[in-house]
Chain A
Amino acid sequence: MSSQNRNTGERKVKKFTQKMQKKLVVLFILILLAFAGLSIVLISLVKNNKVDYQKQILSQQQYDSTVIPYRRGDIVDAKGIKLATSEKVYNLIVDAKIMNTEVKGEKPYLETTLDALTRNFPMLDMVAVRKHVTTNTNAPYYVAAKRLTYDQISSFKSAQLDDSNIKGIWFEEEYKRVYPNGSLAADAIGFTTTDGQGSYGLEEFYNDILNGTNGREYGYLNEDLNLERTVKPAVDGYTVHSTIDSNIQMIAEKYIAKFMEEHKDLVRAGNGAENVGCIVMDVNNGEILAMASAPGYDLNDTRNAQALIGSKMVEQVTNANGYYEIKKNGQVINQDIIDSMDNDQLLLNLNYLWKNFCITNTYEPGSVAKPFTVAAALEKGTITPASTFECNGSLEIGGFKIKCHNGNEGTMTLESGVAKSCNVTMMKIAQTLGVDNFCEYQSIFNFGLKTNVDLAGEARTNSLIYNPNVMGPTDLATNSFGQNFNITMIQGVAGFASLINGGYYYEPHIVNKITNSNGATIKNIEPRVLKQTVSENTSELIRQYCTAVVQYGTGKTARPAGYMIGGKTGTAETIDQNTHKRSPNEYVVSFMGFAPADDPQIAVYVVVDRANAVRQDDAKFATRIVRGVLTETLPYLQIFMTEELTEKEMKELEELKLEITSQYKAPKEETEVVEPIYTVGEDGGKPTWLTFPIDPNTGYRVDPATGYKYDAQAGFLIEGDMSSIGIEEPVNKNLESE
């Protein structure tokens, strides 16, 4: 019944007809065909392209590695004070792709991030950033700002934490070399170029030790073709411990600066001297405690052309032999010249400035060589401590009449010969030695050889001394008092230290320890005695003679109040670069000293190259610097006073103490009164020096009784132990002043 009803009911409704059913089957078959076709496409796709596409996909993966920069090691001084250090800095990287990410059709990060940048980086050129972000929407790497400090980026970082819509900015880490003390010990430290390579000084010499190894964060595909990321940490560079003591260095630089300031633009426009160098060295181990020179430069701003102002301009010329030569052209650099210099010229002059005078420049040492001559002859036994020599003002050798600046002095002992810096005595001593012995001792004292001080840029001087085959009697005579051969300051002070410390020649060095970034010692650099130059007995005699120089000889003004020191003054003529003849009025004056006199601890060597003064041949330029340096350094080194202080000296020390203690309080009015020495006669009336006749040759007033020379107008005692041999005298062809 019911089924019948249903059947009749079904007849009423329209049926899905057989034809339709067939058509549906046709449709299904068509769909099957479509799927079959697609399957064939799929299969062929895989079959034909599997390897290619796999490679393609792998090549798209980012296994590019990021470099984790190492930190260049510090350079610290003897007390651990940082002379050079590396600070982490940050490059601001803009990822335009992330910034332009669309979320639900909008760009939620773009404006928020740009706004945050504007607020937190006032120095940023937002117009350029915005332009980049909106035009290169797919560029993931754009350096918007370089070398920002952490302080500069910290506000943005905290904003980034607060607002998750600030996206597409990250910071690339880098290290920047910083010199906390600016120009302090600039020549000795050197600097680092932006790519992390040291230039000059310690930075260059110890470049490989200071530099570490970059780390890497990189991705690679493991055997299952999964991308894995690995971090290989950076190895930081080692720390170099210098023997330089910042305090002594500062003292040395203070007195050099004082000299430079006093003599600046004095007679001609320009610096107080072309160069002033000062080395303080521990005589008992060869450690350099201070190495300073002027003009200097700021290590944090090495390319600042302002540092050149006042120096003589140098230029590159091709000489007669076709070699390039760097020569001073006589012009003093001023702002106008800087403006007119092209890049090459500027770089040439800066390179000249960056050189370390103390080890790179060579010059004729002058009378500071006299103790070496005496020591050599004593060692060889050609003279004895009791030997005396007759000085009658000049000595005729090889057709030249070589004068003594003091005139006729009569009988000289070794002590008075050194103390009064008598040329004739030295020439006679050298004659007893002979050419061969003299040259042998030149090389024993390391003249002509590198000292191998651990600094970049030490000059070669082997061609700047004589060898016995070509050395004539005149050469021997002039060499005996320090003319006609060149040395560097470091050679001078290292040799001198051996003369007075008992004969031990220490290799001068400026680094005594290398530690790794955790502070563990990697290497200790022990003092190295290279040779015994002279015997203990000779050394003692030299100490005695040098002490006499300060006690009553040419170096009286070098003695610091309360101490007895030894030393030797030097004044040398320079050779004109263009004429290759001795310049009539350009001098290098120096003082080489040690303290205390009875038990030498430190040696000080100060060289003033062509001072800006009416008469350059005044050793007081150097002795005053030495005196200042020692006055402050000896107490600092806890060396006690041995000499009684005069009232004047006490007053002086009081003033110095006041100056040092008050320098941090208020700027003191500088009322420096240059007191002429020996201006007032002993009778208190008309100064004695005014009565002396003027020597027509030199322009000095000469005391007929003592032979001392005084400045004709001001009455300064010309203390230079000028080893004058006259401008027509022979010149070592290899020598030139720089």
Chain B
Amino acid sequence: MAEREAVRKRNKRKSDSYFDYSLLFVVLFLLVFGFIMIYSASSYNAFQDYGDPAYYMKKQLLAALIGLVLMVVVSKIPYHFFERFALAGFIFSLLLIPVVKTPLGVNSHGATRWIKIPGIGLNLQPAEIAKLCMILFLAVLVSKLGRNVDTFKGFAIMVCAPLLHCAFIYLFTKNLSSAIIVFGISFLMLFVASSSYKVFFALGGGGIAAVTALVLYIVNKVGTDGGFRSERIIVWLNPESQAQDKGFQTLQALYAIGSGGTWGKGLGQSMQKLSFLPESQNDMIFSIICEELGLFGGICVISMFIMLLWRMLVIANNAPDLYGAMLVVGVMGHIAIQAVLNIAVVTNTIPNTGISLPFISYGGSSVMFLLIEIGLVMSVSRGIRLADTQ
């Protein structure tokens, strides 16, 4: 008996410390793969600009190490601990966005999207904080609303909750893509939380119709005079028309992907990274992956993301409660949206907009907050109770 008790206890302990190693493996794989690709894509430009080929890689490594530490810390804390900060985080992240307009704002790449944290010398993107806080807030909100999500009032609250953030991000940082991502995360969380399909098909269909109409309107009426966003639409439809100008980056990305072939030119053999493809270590890193590692490499990366999302699906569906599950759904939505949109941009499936590839693209804030989000997912996964009888 005593022996049995001991075994059960051991099993219990085992079940208490459930840890999703697949998830950790995929995340670490993507991170390390990201370092390699950043080094490959940026070493030429980094050496030209800073005299150190590993300049970008080193910075990414530092941010990732901080992120990993935070991930471990967050994953050790029961996720309900964060519940109480949901509203505060929601308001804090909203108020943080206008700070980019203060002297703390850091200008780079022609846009003010970063905040300098005094003392540390680290730059943070408030939009990344907003994404994290929005996931947390909406997860709490869904768990509080419960079945009321399906009521009109509850649905309206859910739809309206991210709008202020989106507006702030768009207005203060001129960052449409981040606004879209924040809204997209909320939308996906709402989709999962709501029991209705019709509304979403209606919304989705309406959205597609509206976008199509807008594109047709821009193409036929406005031409290239309607500011840089409508210009992007024109370039999207025909990148060759402005091959040396606005379409340059898109075209060069396409050249990179196309020239890579099935198996690629080999790691480090990209020619497009030699100052032809702007932001090759950043938003456009997927095209360098395709150029160096070919279609094979690109599909592998997509597969890794699918695997990552699959693990999250499993965690969410086994989460002990609605709040935990919604947290995972939010993180899942975040990563899915960014990965899909990034690859869509690189392949010119949608108009060019600045979206980074999760874990792989260069960008300290992005990778740090993504790892914190993974920490949350791990924290939720710790709450999973394995069946006693096996």
A binding-site residues for B, Cβ under 8 Å:
3, 6, 10, 13-17, 19-21, 23-25, 27-28, 31-32, 34-35, 37-39, 41-43, 45-46, 48-50, 52-54, 56-58, 60-61, 101-106, 224-227
Contacts and interface: CB of A to CB of B under 8 A. Distances in A.
Contacts of B290: 42, 46
B316 interface: yes
B192 A50 contact: no
Nearest to B266: A224
20 contacts: A10-B321, A14-B146, A16-B316, A16-B321, A16-B325, A23-B194, A24-B325, A27-B191, A31-B309, A32-B306, A35-B306, A38-B344, A42-B257, A46-B260, A48-B258, A53-B255, A54-B259, A54-B261, A57-B256, A101-B49
Q: Which 9 A-B pairs have the closest CB atoms?
A: A53-B258, A16-B325, A49-B258, A14-B322, A54-B259, A13-B321, A105-B107, A53-B259, A53-B255
A21 B318 CA distance: 9
Contacts, number: 147
Contacts of A58: 271
B340 interface: yes
Given A24-B316, A25-B313, A38-B347, A105 B258 contact: no
A28 B332 CA distance: 9
A42 B255 contact: no
B192 A24 contact: yes
A118 B323 CA distance: 66
B306 to A, nearest CB: 6
Interface of B: 49, 107-111, 143, 146, 188, 191-195, 254-262, 265, 269, 271-272, 274, 276, 290, 294-295, 298-299, 302, 305-306, 309-310, 313, 316-317, 319-326, 329, 333, 336, 339-340, 343-344, 347, 349, 385, 388
Contacts of B319: 16
A484 to B, nearest CB: 75
B349 A38 contact: yes
Contacts of B320: 10, 13
A557 to B, nearest CB: 78
A591 to B, nearest CB: 73
Contacts of A16: 316-317, 319, 321-322, 324-326
B387 to A, nearest CB: 11
Contact of B192 (A6, A27, A102): A27
Nearest to A58: B271
Contacts of B329: 24, 27
A571 to B, nearest CB: 76
A77 B325 CA distance: 96
A52 B258 contact: yes
Contacts of A105: 107-111
A28 B313 contact: yes
Contacts of B260: 46
Contact of A15 (B107, B274, B321, B343): B321
Contacts of B317: 16, 21, 24-25
Given A24-B313, A42-B347, A56 B302 contact: no
Contacts of A6: 385
Nearest to B196: A23
A41 B347 contact: yes
B325 A20 contact: yes
B1 to A, nearest CB: 16
A527 B325 CA distance: 105
Interface of B is mostly: helix
Given A104-B108, A105-B110, 12 more contacts: A20-B322, A27-B192, A27-B333, A28-B310, A42-B290, A46-B257, A46-B261, A50-B258, A53-B258, A53-B259, A60-B276, A105-B107
A6 B313 CA distance: 24
Nearest to A53: B258
B385 to A, nearest CB: 7
Given A14-B143, A102-B110, A105-B107, A38 B309 contact: no
A45 B254 CA distance: 8
A200 B288 CA distance: 60
Given A3-B388, A6-B385, A16-B322, A46 B258 contact: yes
A201 B265 CA distance: 59
Nearest to B340: A34
Contact of B302 (A13, A35, A224, A226): A35
B340 A38 contact: yes
Contacts of B258: 45-46, 48-50, 52-54
A38 to B, nearest CB: 5
Contacts of B321: 10, 13-16
A20 to B, nearest CB: 6
A122 B299 CA distance: 59
Contacts of A34: 336, 340
Contacts of B188: 27
Select the residue from A19, A25, A27, A102 with max chain B CB neighbours within 10 A. A27
Contact of A23 (B192, B271, B302): B192
Nearest to A10: B320
A471 B360 CA distance: 101
A27 B328 CA distance: 13
Nearest to A104: B108
B80 to A, nearest CB: 10
B280 to A, nearest CB: 13
Contacts of A106: 107
B259 A56 contact: yes
Nearest to A62: B274
Contacts of B295: 42-43, 46
Nearest to A21: B317
Nearest to B326: A16
B260 to A, nearest CB: 7
A104 B309 CA distance: 34
A54 B262 CA distance: 13
A43 B295 CA distance: 7
Contacts of B294: 46
Select the residue from B256, B290, B305, B347 with max chain A CB neighbours within 10 A. B347
A250 to B, nearest CB: 56
Nearest to B294: A46
A571 B276 CA distance: 79
Contacts of B339: 35
B361 to A, nearest CB: 16
Nearest to A18: B317
Contacts of A224: 269
Nearest to A226: B269
Nearest to B111: A105
Contacts of A57: 255-256, 259, 271-272, 276
A15 B323 CA distance: 8
A226 B271 CA distance: 8
A24 B309 CA distance: 11
B110 A38 contact: no
A676 to B, nearest CB: 83
Contacts of A56: 255, 259
Contact of A45 (B257, B272, B326, B340): B257
Contacts of B299: 39, 42
Given A24-B313, A105-B107, A61 B298 contact: no
A43 B146 CA distance: 43
A227 B254 CA distance: 21
A530 to B, nearest CB: 65
B306 A61 contact: no
Contact of B261 (A31, A39, A50, A103): A50
A98 to B, nearest CB: 10
Contacts of A48: 258
Contacts of A41: 347, 349
A216 to B, nearest CB: 21
A50 B295 CA distance: 11
B232 to A, nearest CB: 18
B193 A20 contact: yes
Contacts of A49: 254, 258
Contacts of B313: 24-25, 28
Nearest to B299: A39
Nearest to A101: B49
A105 B329 CA distance: 36
